[in-house]
């Protein structure tokens, strides 16, 4: 096990190694893995953002996928109007990533602000239920948007355009996402170590004391909620481009549950935990059915999800430290 | 003018009058102890002073200001700091980080997102000083939840002290401590005397007599007597209230 | 007008389903301090139990004899295996562990019954309509649901306010340790409470079978609405659950039925239809947002509760 002190360096090394993934997979004729990897990176960003409020802030938000969905739909809707030559409330569509991405982040942050402002007036069980309920509301909102495909979702005719880069190329897109993930991991670490981060963690440990020393917790929790929402929105924008498709399924409440699993699987309240958890979760999702099929266990290969339930329960009950605890040890 | 003026405070929980026409005043610079039998309503009073409980009626004035109009999170900034009877720390933070957060709260610049707190000398140096004052400097880098009970009680006080308070509300600072721990705290309080105004709730009569300038006695939610420690010891009403409890029979 | 009353009754009937599921849920939160995401799964078990019962016995009453014990058994198993390990855990652990139970049960049902939804029909004996008002024929089956719901509500009210068990439940909501210290077998109380909640939920599912499509995931959609009912009503309060459920049932049903028409007064028809559909599905959440703004503890908060 490595000391957590070196976590940053280990992360950087792995990041640099991952730059070569496209070449390596091409050499083994498994180029499709780049697409899988991109998906993992995107969800890792969402998991990192959830970890900020969940792991460090102690806020059990069971509606985080809603903000990912909002970010995705911003990109999808803008792309739709660009293709149709129509406008959304007077605003023309666009494929320019310099517009779509910041807008996606901004609008998901706005949703997070409005919903967070309400949810954070409650705590404990109420809070969890209400985040779930509002996420469901957003799900129904987008299902009802017939113009944008409703239940079936919306296909994008092409990916966004980012300066000179050809985002249609899988490898290029992968590298872009990798860099964004690296930047996010760095950014969230800075936030956690900042004065704001201290308040967030203090509030998680002892909200009463925080108030008594003169800090009202609400504004900080809300700010954290908004930042987390923005991060999920960024992931959503990346996901929409990656899949060239957006659908309300992105924000189904079970996706929020998946995000929670990713965070806890990797190690809640740790720096790289969310990335580890996302990787394991999505790799299992992708390859468990294949594995069972290879083993000839046809029932399980079709119903591999049945393994997820009990596994999750076992981890929650007995292995709370997640993958992070397996790889790193605390310094003392 | 008194630093703290409590007038006719009332707080009921159903049929129980935890604060029953409670009046009390604390003069600037004094060490004022509040004693009373269990269940007299001492912690209820402290909670109303710190803002975590709202009185049903009555007035609280702090440095001339109506305190009831001030929300709990702002009272520390007015100069009112409290420590808790049941230890209330940030358990996963180190002792230093606990105190540093209090100093950060006082400084008021907490919406800072990118600068690392670890290299912030404006927090760590004052925090270390406070730890030295209470005698915990050697444990600065230990996680609060790993500290011994007595050390945690010291940290309790340190956090309140870090707020540079005009009035220090100490709710049974020696709760659960042995003889030596109590001596350490008494030493600390004696050093703080005069520099910081204190309202001290305590059961430990040795401490009260060693530290207090004045003592108020709280029984069934109201103050039945206020005076110097000697006056109080000889007060017949107070003796009746404490009948059967051995704590009042103190040497010296 | 006739249409309005019909939809109003539908709303009340829907509210009864919500109440049957919410009541158990709120008591489990309130007394055991456990948030059980898998409560909706018990509703689903009731529905599938009825489907199974129908195919085995062909009789509605026979299928109830299958569905209710099935819900009780599944509930009992969940409590014994998993819930009792969660009493001392924090909310995140409870949420995740019970989410795991959902995943497991959903997949199990898929293995046993396949992925396609099942369609049950209202039993012969109960498929008549009653003329409850001149010009209004209302299905007997739905009236029965309303009746049963009211009966259960009354029974619950009686039990909680007038029996010893009820007193323990009310005490347990705010003073758990005290109840334990009095020598009450908290384990038995908890299991009993959980299984009772499971049976109510299963019963709702059994009755709902013929009215909605029986499919995997039906429980969760309802569960989230139950959360809204409980939040509006106040966690731990069965009175709150009842009022909240009725309110949500009526608002949701009336909203879906009439909002598009109401909007047609202000907007062009095509837009009105689209916006109407969208807004009516969000109506209950907007209602919840309003309640949260003005009364974050709900309409009937249980006084003296420790922090949720």
**Could you read off the pLDDT of A282-330 as tens digits, one per residue?**
998 888 888 888 888 877 777 888 888 888 888 888 888 889 998 888 7
Helix, strand, coil shares, percent, chain C, to 5? 75, 5, 20
Q: Which two tokens stand for residue A119?
A: 């949810």
Band of pLDDT at residue B244, cut at 50, 70 and 90: very low
Alpha carbon distances (Å) from C249 to A26, C11, C225: 56, 5, 9
Tens digit of each residue's pLDDT (9 = 90 or more) over C67-109: 999 999 999 999 999 888 888 888 888 988 999 999 999 999 9
Domains held by chain B: number: 2
Q: Are the C-beta atoms of residues A138 and A66 closer than 8 Å to each other? A: yes
Residue A244 has pLDDT above 90, yes or no: yes
Tens digit of each residue's pLDDT (9 = 90 or more) over C120-134: 877 777 777 877 777
Say if residue B69 is in the same domain as residue B2.
yes
> How deeply is C299 buried, as exposed, middle or buried, from its count of CB atoms within 10 A (0-12, 13-18, 19+)?
middle
Say if residue B9 is in the same domain as residue B105.
no
**Which residues of chain C are within 8 Å of residue A118 when distances are taken between CB atoms?**
289, 292-293
Provide the shortest C-alpha distance from residue C282 to chain A (in Å): 5
Provide the shortest C-alpha distance from residue A202 to chain C (in Å): 17
Task: Provide the whole-model pTM.
Answer: 0.90
Question: What would the mean pLDDT of C270-297 be, rounded to a whole number?
Answer: 82
pLDDT of C303 reads 61
Residue contact C274–A141, C-beta within 8 A = no
pLDDT of A42 reads 97
C96 vs A123, A133, A312: nearest CB: A312
Q: Which two tokens stand for residue A189?
A: 């670490």
Interatomic CA distance for residues C63 and C48, integer angstroms: 10
pLDDT of C307 reads 38
pLDDT of B162 reads 95
Band of pLDDT at residue C305, cut at 50, 70 and 90: very low
Say if residue B140 is in the same domain as residue B237.
no
pLDDT of C173 reads 57
Best mutation target, A133, A146, A204, to test chain C (most C CBs within 10 A): A133
Interatomic CA distance for residues A204 and A200, integer angstroms: 6
pLDDT of B174 reads 86
B89 vs A191, A209, A216: nearest CB: A209
Interatomic CA distance for residues A220 and A227, integer angstroms: 10
Phi, psi of C234 (to 5 degrees): 110, 120
**What chains are in contact with A, requiring at least 3 Cβ pairs below 8 Å?**
B, C
Interatomic CA distance for residues A140 and A128, integer angstroms: 19
Interatomic CA distance for residues A270 and A206, integer angstroms: 19
Instruction: Give the number of other CB atoms < 10 A from CB of residue B15.
Output: 5
Last residue of a domain, one of B108, B142, B164: B164
Last residue of a domain, one of B142, B164, B186: B164
- Coil, strand, or helix at residue B213? coil
Q: Which residue of A has its CA nearest to C297?
A: A122
The percentage of residues in chain C with a pLDDT greater than 70, rounded to a whole number, is: 94
Say if residue B64 is in the same domain as residue B118.
no
Task: Name residue, tokens 């925090």.
Answer: B127
- Coil, strand, or helix at residue A125? helix
Tens digit of each residue's pLDDT (9 = 90 or more) over B12-48: 888 888 888 899 999 999 999 999 887 778 888 999 9
Q: What is the ipTM of this complex?
A: 0.90
Question: What would the mean pLDDT of B60-75 be, rounded to a whole number?
Answer: 92
Q: Which residue of A has its CA nearest to B87?
A: A209
The 8-class DSSP code of residue C118 comes to B
pLDDT of A260 reads 93
Interatomic CA distance for residues C196 and C204, integer angstroms: 12
> How deeply is B172 buried, as exposed, middle or buried, from its count of CB atoms within 10 A (0-12, 13-18, 19+)?
buried
b/e A159-181 (16+ beta carbons within 10 angstroms → b): bbbbeeeebeebbebbbbbbebb
How many residues make up chain B in this entry? 252
Concatenated DSSP letters of B68-119: GGS-HHHHHHHTEEEE-SS----TTSBHHHHHHHHHHHHH------SSBGGG
pLDDT of B252 reads 42
Residue A92 has pLDDT above 60, yes or no: yes
Provide the shortest C-alpha distance from residue A227 to chain B (in Å): 11
Strand B222-227 to B214-219 pairing: antiparallel
Interatomic CA distance for residues C219 and B78, integer angstroms: 52
Residue contact B81–A205, C-beta within 8 A = no
Task: Name residue, tokens 């990335």.
Answer: A275
Say if residue B147 is in the same domain as residue B192.
no
| Domain CATH for B68 | 3.40.50.300
Say if residue B179 is in the same domain as residue B246.
yes
Say if residue B206 is in the same domain as residue B146.
no
Tens digit of each residue's pLDDT (9 = 90 or more) over B148-186: 998 999 999 999 999 999 999 999 998 888 888 888 889
Closest by Cα among C209, C257, C203 to C10: C257
Say if residue B121 is in the same domain as residue B53.
no
Q: Which two tokens stand for residue C190?
A: 């908890």
Task: Name residue, tokens 């800090």.
Answer: A215
B90 vs A190, A209, A217: nearest CB: A209
Q: Where are the beta strands (DSSP E) in chain A?
A: 2-3, 87-88, 91-92, 154-155, 245-246, 328-329
Taking each helix axis as running N to C, give the angle between helix A217-243 and helix A97-119, from 0 to 180 degrees, rounded to the nearest 10: 140
Q: Which two tokens stand for residue B64?
A: 């001339």
CA dihedral C154, C156, C162, C164 (to 10 degrees): 160
Task: Name residue, tokens 């049963």.
Answer: C148
For A192, residues 6+ apart whose C-beta sits below 8 A from its C-beta are A52, A56, A200, A201, A271
Q: Does A194 touch chain B (CB under 8 A)?
A: yes
**Which residues of chain A are within 8 Å of residue B96 when distances are taken between CB atoms?**
none
pLDDT of A226 reads 97
Tens digit of each residue's pLDDT (9 = 90 or more) over A178-229: 999 999 999 999 999 999 999 999 999 999 999 999 999 999 999 999 999 9
Say if residue B114 is in the same domain as residue B72.
no
Say if residue B33 is in the same domain as residue B68.
yes
Taking each helix axis as running N to C, give the angle between helix C218-233 and helix C269-294, from 0 to 180 degrees, rounded to the nearest 10: 50
Q: Which domain holds residue B74?
A: 1-79+165-252
- Coil, strand, or helix at residue C182? coil
Tens digit of each residue's pLDDT (9 = 90 or more) over C43-74: 999 999 988 888 888 778 888 888 999 999 99
Residue contact A213–B101, C-beta within 8 A = yes
Cβ-Cβ pairs closer than 8 A, A with C, add up to 130
Say if residue B104 is in the same domain as residue B44.
no
CA dihedral B19, B20, B23, B29 (to 10 degrees): -20
Q: Are the C-beta atoms of residues A1 and A329 closer than 8 Å to each other? A: yes
Q: What is the mean pLDDT of chain A?
A: 90
Q: Which two tokens stand for residue C172?
A: 């347990």
Last residue of a domain, one of B146, B164, B182: B164
- Coil, strand, or helix at residue A2? strand
Question: What would the mean pLDDT of C16-33 be, rounded to a whole number?
Answer: 86
Cβ-Cβ pairs closer than 8 A, A with B, add up to 98
Residue C135 has pLDDT above 70, yes or no: yes
Give the residues across from B82 on adjacent strands: B169
For B211, residues 6+ apart whose C-beta sits below 8 A from its C-beta are B31, B33, B186, B189, B190, B193, B198, B200
pLDDT of B251 reads 45
The 8-class DSSP code of residue A162 comes to B
Residue A31 has pLDDT above 50, yes or no: yes
Say if residue B249 is in the same domain as residue B171.
yes
pLDDT of A162 reads 84
């Amino acid at each position: 096990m490595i000391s957590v002190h070196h976590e940053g360096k280990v992360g950087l090394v792995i990041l640099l190694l991952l730059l070569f993934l496209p070449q390596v997979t091409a050499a083994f004729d498994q180029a499709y893995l780049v697409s899988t990897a991109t998906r993992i990176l995107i969800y890792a960003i969402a998991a990192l953002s959830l970890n900020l409020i969940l792991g460090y802030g102690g806020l059990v938000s069971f509606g985080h996928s809603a903000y990912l969905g909002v970010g995705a739909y911003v990109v999808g809707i803008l792309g739709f109007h660009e293709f149709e030559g129509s406008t959304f409330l007077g605003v023309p569509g666009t494929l320019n990533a310099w517009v779509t991405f910041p807008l996606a982040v901004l609008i998901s942050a706005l949703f997070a602000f409005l919903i967070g402002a309400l949810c954070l007036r409650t705590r404990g069980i109420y809070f969890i239920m209400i985040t779930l309920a509002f996420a469901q509301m957003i799900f129904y909102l987008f299902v009802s948007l017939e113009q944008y495909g409703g239940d079936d979702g919306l296909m994008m005719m092409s990916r966004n355009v980012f300066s000179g880069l050809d985002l249609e190329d899988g490898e290029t897109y992968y590298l872009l996402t990798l860099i964004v993930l690296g930047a996010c991991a760095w950014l969230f670490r800075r936030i956690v170590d900042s004065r704001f981060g201290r308040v967030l963690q203090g509030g998680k440990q002892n909200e009463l004391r925080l108030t008594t020393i003169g800090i009202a917790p609400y504004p900080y929790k809300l700010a954290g909620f908004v930042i987390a929402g923005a991060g999920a929105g960024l992931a959503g924008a990346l996901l929409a481009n990656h899949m060239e498709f957006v659908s309300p399924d992105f924000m189904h409440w079970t996706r929020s549950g998946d995000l929670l699993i990713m965070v806890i699987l990797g190690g809640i309240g740790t720096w790289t935990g969310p990335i580890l958890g996302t990787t394991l979760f999505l790799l299992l999702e992708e390859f468990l059915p294949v594995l069972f099929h290879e083993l000839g266990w046809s029932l399980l290969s079709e119903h591999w999800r049945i393994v997820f339930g009990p596994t999750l329960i076992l981890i929650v009950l007995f292995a709370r430290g997640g993958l992070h605890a397996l790889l790193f040890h605390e310094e003392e | 003018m008194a630093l703290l003026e409590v007038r006719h405070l009332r707080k009921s929980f159903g049929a129980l009058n935890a604060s029953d026409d409670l009046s009390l005043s604390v003069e600037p610079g004094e060490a004022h102890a509040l004693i009373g039998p269990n269940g007299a309503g001492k912690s209820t009073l402290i909670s109303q002073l710190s803002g975590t409980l709202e009185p049903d009626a009555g007035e609280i004035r702090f440095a001339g200001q109506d305190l009831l109009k001030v929300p709990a999170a702002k009272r520390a900034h007015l100069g009112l700091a409290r420590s808790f009877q049941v230890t209330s720390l940030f358990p996963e933070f180190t002792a230093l980080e606990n105190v540093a957060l209090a100093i950060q709260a006082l400084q008021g610049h907490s919406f800072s997102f990118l600068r690392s707190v670890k290299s912030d000398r404006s927090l760590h140096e004052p925090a270390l000083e406070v730890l030295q004052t209470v005698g915990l400097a050697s444990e600065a880098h230990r996680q609060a939840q790993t500290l011994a009970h007595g050390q945690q009680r010291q940290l309790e006080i340190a956090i309140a002290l870090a707020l540079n308070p005009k009035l220090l509300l100490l709710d049974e600072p020696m709760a659960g401590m042995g003889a030596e721990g109590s001596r350490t705290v008494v030493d600390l309080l004696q050093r703080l005397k005069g520099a910081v105004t204190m309202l001290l709730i305590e059961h430990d009569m040795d401490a009260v007599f060693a530290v207090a300038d004045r003592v108020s006695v709280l029984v069934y939610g109201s103050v039945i007597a206020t005076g110097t420690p000697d006056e109080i010891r000889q007060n017949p009403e107070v003796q009746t209230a404490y009948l059967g409890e051995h704590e009042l029979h103190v040497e010296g | 007008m006739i249409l309005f009353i019909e939809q109003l009754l539908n709303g009340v009937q829907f509210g009864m389903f919500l109440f049957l599921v919410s009541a158990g849920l709120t008591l489990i939160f309130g007394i055991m301090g456990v948030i059980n995401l898998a409560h909706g799964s018990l509703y689903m078990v009731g529905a599938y139990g009825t489907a199974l019962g129908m195919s085995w016995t062909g009789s509605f009453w026979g299928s109830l004899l299958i569905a209710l014990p099935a819900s009780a058994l599944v509930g009992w198993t969940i409590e014994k295996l998993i819930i009792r390990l969660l009493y001392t855990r924090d909310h995140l652990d409870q949420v995740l562990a019970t989410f795991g139970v959902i995943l497991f049960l959903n997949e199990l049902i898929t293995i046993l019954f396949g992925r396609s939804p099942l369609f049950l029909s209202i039993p012969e004996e109960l498929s008549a309509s009653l003329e409850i008002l001149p010009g209004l024929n209302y299905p007997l089956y739905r009236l029965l649901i309303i009746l049963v719901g009211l009966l259960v509500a009354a029974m619950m009210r009686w039990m909680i306010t007038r029996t010893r068990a009820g007193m323990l439940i009310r005490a347990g909501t705010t003073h758990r340790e005290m109840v334990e210290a009095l020598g009450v077998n908290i384990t038995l109380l908890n299991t009993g409470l959980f299984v009772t909640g499971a049976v109510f939920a299963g019963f709702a599912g059994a009755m709902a079978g013929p009215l909605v499509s029986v499919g995997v995931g039906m429980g969760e959609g309802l569960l989230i609405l139950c959360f809204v009912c409980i939040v509006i009503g106040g966690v731990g309060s069965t009175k709150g659950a009842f009022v909240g459920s009725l309110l949500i049932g009526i608002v949701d049903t009336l909203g879906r039925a009439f909002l598009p028409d109401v909007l047609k007064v202000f907007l062009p028809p095509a837009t009105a239809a689209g916006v109407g559909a969208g807004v009516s599905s969000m109506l209950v959440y907007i209602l919840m947002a309003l309640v949260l703004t003005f009364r974050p503890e709900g309409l009937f908060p249980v006084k003296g509760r420790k922090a949720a």
